[in-house]
Amino acid sequence: MSTQVRTERIGDVLAIFIDNPPVNAGSLAVRQGVLEAIETLSSVPSLVAGVLIGAGNTFIAGSDLREFGQPLERPELPAVIAAIETCEKPVVAALHGAALGGGFELALGCDARVGSQNLVVGLPEVTLGMIPGAGGTQRLPRLIGIPAAIEWVCSGKRVPASGALKVGVLDAIADGDLLECAVRFAANMGGKRRLRDMPVTEADTAEIAAAEAAALRQGKGRPQVAAAIEAVKFSATLPVDDALTKERAVFTELRMSNDAFALRHLFFSEREALKHPELRGVDPAEISLVAVIGAGTMGSGIAIAALDGGFRVVLVERDAQALNRGTERIKGHYEAQVSKGKLAKAEADKRTAALESSLEWAVLGQADLVIEAVFEDLAVKQEVFTQVDHFAKPGAILASNTSYLDVDAIAASTSRPADVIGLHFFSPANVMKLVEVVRGRSSSKRAIATGVAVAKRLRKMPVLTGNAFGFIGNRIYAAYRYQCELMLEDGAYPNQIDSALEKFGFAMGPFGVADMSGLDIAWRMRQARAHLRDPEARYVSIPDRLCDMGRLGRKSGAGYYAYETGGRKSVDQVVHQLIDEARSQKGLAAQTLKDEDIVERVLLSMVNEAAHLLSEGVTTRASDVDVVLANGYGFPRWQGGPVFWARRVGLDALNEKMSRLKQVVGPAFKAADLSALLAD
Ligand code: NAI
């Protein structure tokens, strides 16, 4: 008997327990065990039905993803499901916790499904670069119709028990003990009810087309999305066995695709990023009241994130008008959530009621966590932290949302640097997943653990970083942007670079982004750091010239592009001329840069910077770099991240490419040792 499946006879029903802690992931032993149990059910005449149930907290929460990068061992899941379908006695899936991916497909292979209140079901395969491969695309449309199945399969959404019952995916919700209910249900079924024998619900072609268009749009046109749509649709046209074979063939091909490897890499990297062995056993501070200082773009976004996370929040400002604007922005956000039907009015009211605002800094005395989000200016932040130090209670955690500044210099303006950390949120702070938790020289483990715990409570992705200019993300972004500016001098125009990177998968290229955030921020920073510039480095003066001309981006109607009043952007010959002039002043000849050259130079510059960050100890885990870029900088998830890319290229080829880049960039290019970054 399998070590991960056990059976127990309850009356005339065979209860089959899947027991592969912690999440009952589908594994070879699970598949073998279920298969053996079904054989028992078939062969023992006195048994009338079976119940498949998860031991512990959940049904099968998904397949073991590590298996997908390798040849699969038999029995594969379709064979297990086929055995359930062939068995003459009904099998009921008793579902609690999560029934996802292969787990949900197994449940769809049963004759009925009984769920508990806490259940979620879903097919996340497409979000992992594949399609369901064990009949999910064929059995689900027989229950919910093609348009809804397209939505479920392509979005990978998790549907709660009530929703699953409503559309017929569940036959019942257990009103007491799940196993008892399922056993009763199974004993009374009286016969088989195989989904494969049911016809696919007829659907309107317009409705199918709409579901298809929405899925392609949301799925950024990735091949797995198109393949999933096609598979769901052929459930209505192909004989079921042919359709199942075809689905499996597509799954088998896609699970080895670049997208699938990249998405699995991010899945594992994100789980890894949440592990902090150095913080094991450290208790985070108890947080109930969060004070946010500065009610601007970031402060109000952070306040919303904290309210959404269930904290009480006090917003503090020095300027009454700014405080009022910030408070109104937060209230407006919740009103919009209610009017769009995204949040119940009562919940929105509860969250706004948990918000206070104040111009009196004494309120900081009650806060357990203070997050500062004032102007990006060291002197201003130090002045604010001096005040915070004066008012905050002992033991409160003090955090700065600085983008680049030295957290140690900020901490030094307090009498308690051990309590100070960086908490670098991204804009819009209530939406973006990433939070860089910055470890200062003196930050205590308790303070760092609190930063991590708070970010998790806000359902964000905390990544630990050392205290260095720009931390992980902005350091890499600066290298990326610099490389793109060099390419302007080398012969590419902004729209060509933007378009190459947008084709690669970024939602917006670097020059579009620069225009949107305003060119003056980087301009001020270049001026402030001019004395630190490497005199040997190629300095691209194009952005300075644009700023001198008052072209500060969208807000001034022009930047790298020209903007119409409605916001539509267009290529501007003035900018092209300016670039041509800058190039000829340096005596550079315009080269032809192909899209793939542009993308490669960008990736190489990111990889080189990532290797520096690793060797400097700013990041301790190479894969964290990919987590940061995918969650905070719009790096396309299906490309995995620069570290993923570098590992696929391999060390020798990468070193060769890097030395070619060094020739282009010039003597100031500091080539990093890439070996540690590539070690898995
Ligand atoms: P903002 O200009 O929108 O807001 C700053 C707010 O701070 C203003 O409302 C201002 O009245 C207030 N303020 C200034 N000095 C103050 C003081 N002494 N006491 C109390 N309040 C004061 O700026 P934004 O964009 O919200 O940036 C804030 C911080 O967040 C900066 O450190 C920035 O680098 C960082 N950040 C910004 C991101 C962005 O995309 N805007 C992204 C990530 C971090």
- For residue 318, give the ligand 1 atom closest to its CA: 20
- pLDDT tens, residue by residue, 369-384: 999 999 999 999 999 9
CA distance 579 to 590: 10
Whether 659 shows a pLDDT value over 70: the answer reads: yes
Alpha carbon nearest to ligand 1 atom 31, residue: 376
Whether 197 shows a pLDDT value over 70: the answer reads: yes
Query: What is the model's pLDDT at position 1?
Result: 62
- pLDDT tens, residue by residue, 84-107: 999 999 999 999 999 999 999 999
CA distance 431 to 454: 15
Structure tokens at 490: 């080398």
Q: How far away, in angstroms, is 295 Cα from ligand 1 center?
A: 7
Q: What is the DSSP string of 261-294?
A: HHHHHHHHHHHHHT--GGGTTPPPPP--EEEEE-
- pLDDT tens, residue by residue, 258-296: 999 999 999 999 999 999 999 999 999 999 999 999 999
- pLDDT tens, residue by residue, 459-500: 999 999 999 999 999 999 999 999 999 999 999 999 999 999
- For residue 517, give the ligand 1 atom closest to its CA: 40
CA distance 355 to 364: 14
Alpha carbon nearest to ligand 1 atom 14, residue: 374
324 as an active site residue: the answer is no
Whether 585 shows a pLDDT value over 70: the answer reads: yes
Which of these is catalytic: 116, 474, 608, 623? 474
Phi-psi map region of 505: left, alpha, beta (phi>0 left; psi -120 to 50 alpha) = left
Domains and CATH numbers, the chain: 5-256 (3.90.226.10), 287-468 (3.40.50.720), 474-678 (1.10.1040.50)
CA distance 98 to 62: 8
CA distance 54 to 16: 8
CA distance 664 to 660: 7
CA distance 563 to 438: 37
Query: What is the model's pLDDT at position 67?
Result: 81
Probe residue for ligand 1, chosen from 297, 315, 323, 387 as the CB with the greatest number of ligand atoms within 8 Å: 297
User: For all residues of the chain together, what is the average pLDDT?
Assistant: 96
474 as an active site residue: the answer is yes
- For residue 295, give the ligand 1 atom closest to its CA: 9
Cβ distance 381 to 400 under 8 Å?
yes
Q: How far away, in angstroms, is 624 Cα from ligand 1 center?
A: 26
2 as an active site residue: the answer is no
Measured in Å, how far apart are the chain's first and last C-alpha atoms?
Answer: 36
Whether 680 shows a pLDDT value over 80: the answer reads: no
Q: How far away, in angstroms, is 84 Cα from ligand 1 center?
A: 60
Q: What is the DSSP string of 332-377?
A: HHHHHHHHTTSS-HHHHHHHHHTEEEES-GGGGGG-SEEEE---S-
Q: What residues flank ligand 1, with Cβ below 6 Å?
A: 293-299, 317-319, 322, 373-376, 380, 384, 401-403, 425-427
CA distance 312 to 328: 17
DSSP state of 550: T
- The band of 440, judged by pLDDT with boundaries at 50, 70 and 90, is very high
CA distance 160 to 167: 11
